[in-house]
Amino acid sequence: MVNSFDDTYDVVVVGSGAAGLTAALGAVDEGLTVLVVESTEKWGGSTAMSGGGLWLPDNPVMRRQEVGDSRAEALDYLERTVGDEGTSTSRARKEAFVDGVEDYIETAEKYGVEFVRARNYPDYYPETPGGKIGRAVEVKPFNARRLGDLARTQRALLPLPAMTDDVWQLQRAWSTFDGFLRGARFTFRTLGALLTGQRKMGIGGALTGALGHAVFVEHGVPLWMSSPAQRLLTDGGAVVGVEVLRDGSPVRVGARRGVVLATGGFDHNAPWRRKYHGVESHPSGNPGNLGQGHEMAEEVDAAFELMDDAWWGASVRPPEGHPASFLVGERSLPYSIIVDSEGRRFTNEAESYVDLGHRMLEHDTDGTYWFVLDRRFVRRYLRAFAMDPRATRAMKEQGIIVEADTLAELADTLGFDHDVFRATVQRFNGFARSGRDQDFGRGDSAYDRYYGDPTVRPNPCLGPLEKGPFVAYQVVIGDLGTKGGVVTDTEGRALRADGSVIAGLYAAGNASASVMGRTYPGPGSTIGPASVFGLRAARDMARRTTA
């Protein structure tokens, strides 16, 4: 029996990404005392490194703008896209997610978080009944100076005031007037912030910055950095606290209402990746995601689901010592194809990244893939994966980037059968000229076209490969995090294999099994549910009685 603690709070949150910060905000909103512990030297988790979008169907921001959506349409869409993958994707959990959206938006706004709608961003299957355009929201660029000293330890991918639509417009800044105009606006926004002494951050940094300001600055919630949780403390089968390693010494922290595991996935735990996925992936998430929450939950008999899956995608193979470059919009742009080790196309390059990742795994687990670009792609479009000159130089030296004046020379260097590769390109070029990809339907969906080039006709996602020199980038399996984790109920409470609740233990985000199952319904399908269930957990803890 646990009967002594070094410190005690109502709630202890383990992890500082969207799930953890929202759980902490919910605890504050309920008048509870809360501690946030973070295992690394930076806070914000994978959320801070992400695009920062939240997929939140039928949300209040949409309603204010009179954008049509409904609970029924959202649930119909989720049933059709996610289906039934176990307890984590039950109808009750889907309903809890959709029904929790309004509370999340209104609570966050109550504490100063400013949301805007990504009005042009489609669901990833917008043609499916219930699918929509513009369900995702994001946070306006946030002035990191408002965080004070905490700004120095905030994790961030891009310390610039970028927003979702900036990314795809800037990608084609030199090819369209809209892209040029967006680039000009982004430049003036950046310069304006600097001239007024602000340090504005967008996308994931804006979301974690705004939430962090509300939690840590406005409400004084303590944040213990470089303080990994070691194990859960129990009493009679209930979780009553957590042991944290702080300054090299174990500290026993009591949690009167509950412990929230918001520790992320196990993306960077190589032994676990081999055990559960059987492949080498190149994760793009927080390097502190080692599965600590999973290990602690396992010790108290929590059940797990979806451990064999991840938020897959394709990444340009990183050179030694550099992070992976996850491919998002680049795959939809014309004058490009992705081929396998024999030089054949095998799927719609522009489909949602999780679908592309699954196709790669199904096609050839250990295979090598190549992203082949025509000269026009290289000249017209921004390549996020080619912006670091040191990484580019290393990729050329290591054979990750291959250049050739002709397709025949490229085939020689990459080891393709000439006839196979020539036939692949000729067939694709015919589709590009006709405007219809008869093999895989690239450009048929509004999602594909969102990232395409509207100046290229008749299909903004198709352009023939015929102008050299050509460039090929080696592509590998990548991911934005793992999907598998603790099975939770509608309130984020951890469950055992028999369905019973582990009193005092909650999980949200990638530490929990995803309500999205094996798919990715729309932009922000990781952060949206993580936030909603983080808040639902806080609400449930407030309702708990304590001894």
Domain boundary among 479, 498, 520: 479
Domain shared by 472 and 488, yes or no: no
Mean pLDDT of 438-450: 97
Mean pLDDT of 129-146: 96
Within a domain: 146 = yes
Within a domain: 272 = no
Under the phi-then-psi rule, with left for phi > 0, alpha for psi from -120 to 50, and beta for the rest, what region is 348? beta
Q: Provide the residue count of the chain.
A: 547
What tens digit of pLDDT does each residue of 204-224 get?
999 999 999 999 999 999 999
Domain boundary among 463, 479, 495: 479
Task: Of 72-76, 169-173, 474-478, 480-484, give the lowest mean pLDDT range.
Answer: 169-173
pLDDT at residue 391 above 70?
yes
Task: Of 341-350, 386-395, 497-506, 526-535, give the lowest mean pLDDT range.
Answer: 386-395
Give the pLDDT of residue 330. Answer: 94
Phi/psi of residue 190, nearest 5 degrees: -65, -45
**CB hemisphere CA count around 518 (13 angstroms):** 14
**Residue spans of beta strands (DSSP E) within 218-323:** 223-224, 229-235, 238-246, 249-261, 282-283, 304-305, 310-316
What tens digit of pLDDT does each residue of 51-60 get?
999 999 999 9
**CATH code for position 492:** 3.50.50.60
Q: Which two tokens stand for residue 66?
A: 């009179």
Angle of helix 91-110 versus helix 71-81 axis, rounded to 10: 130
Question: How many C-beta atoms surround the C-beta of residue 457 within 10 A?
Answer: 11
Domain shared by 327 and 376, yes or no: yes
Within a domain: 304 = no
Within a domain: 37 = yes
pLDDT at residue 290 above 80?
yes
Per-residue pLDDT band for 181 (boundaries 50, 70, 90) equals low
Task: Give dist(CA 7, CA 122) in Å, integer.
Answer: 47
Give the pLDDT of residue 383. Answer: 87
Domain shared by 205 and 316, yes or no: no
DSSP letter assigned to residue 490: T
Give the pLDDT of residue 179. Answer: 56
Domain shared by 468 and 536, yes or no: no
As for how many domains the chain has, the answer is 2
What tens digit of pLDDT does each residue of 403-412 get?
999 999 999 9
pLDDT at residue 232 above 70?
yes
Task: Give dist(CA 511, CA 531) in Å, integer.
Answer: 13
50: nearest Cα among 171, 122, 202, 157: 157
Q: Over the chain, what is the mean pLDDT?
A: 93
Q: What DSSP element (H or E) covers 336?
A: strand 336-339
Q: What is the Cα Rg of the chain in Å? A: 23
**CB hemisphere CA count around 322 (13 angstroms):** 22
Contacts of residue 430, defined as CB under 8 A and 6 or more positions apart, other chains included, come to none
Mean pLDDT of 42-54: 96
CA 47 to chain centre: 7
Domain shared by 462 and 495, yes or no: no
Distances (CA, A) of 224 to 40, 245, 299, 538: 10, 10, 23, 19
pLDDT at residue 172 above 60?
no
Contacts of residue 70, defined as CB under 8 A and 6 or more positions apart, other chains included, come to 58
**The 3-state secondary structure of 120-134, one letter per residue:** CCECCCCCCCCCCEC
Q: Could you tell me whether strands 336-339 and 493-495 are parallel, antiparallel, or unpaired per DSSP bridges? A: unpaired
Within a domain: 306 = no
Q: Which two tokens stand for residue 401?
A: 């980037």
**pTM for the full predicted model:** 0.94
Task: Give dist(CA 536, CA 538) in Å, integer.
Answer: 5
DSSP letter assigned to residue 215: I
Within a domain: 282 = no
DSSP letter assigned to residue 217: I
Output 72 or 281, whichever has higher pLDDT: 72
Domain shared by 126 and 54, yes or no: yes
Domain shared by 528 and 472, yes or no: no
Task: Give dist(CA 291, CA 312) in Å, integer.
Answer: 17
Distances (CA, A) of 194 to 167, 200, 262: 20, 8, 34
Which residue shows structure tokens 């949780």? Answer: 229
Task: Give dist(CA 53, CA 137) in Å, integer.
Answer: 6
Domain shared by 26 and 145, yes or no: yes
Domain shared by 339 and 454, yes or no: yes
Within a domain: 514 = yes
Within a domain: 194 = no
Which residue shows structure tokens 């059968």? Answer: 417
Which residue shows structure tokens 């997610």? Answer: 97
Domain shared by 49 and 150, yes or no: yes
Domain shared by 429 and 504, yes or no: no
Task: Of 8-22, 126-140, 372-386, 519-533, give the lowest mean pLDDT range.
Answer: 372-386
Which structural domain, as residue segments, surrounds residue 392? 312-479
Domain shared by 369 and 449, yes or no: yes
Q: What percent of the chain has pLDDT over 90?
A: 86
Task: Give dist(CA 47, CA 500) in Å, integer.
Answer: 30
Give the pLDDT of residue 176. Answer: 58
Give the pLDDT of residue 187. Answer: 61
Task: Give dist(CA 470, CA 350) in Å, integer.
Answer: 20
pLDDT at residue 196 above 60?
yes
Distances (CA, A) of 77 to 16, 64, 157: 30, 22, 31
pLDDT at residue 1 above 50?
no
Q: Report the amino acid identity of residue 323.
A: P
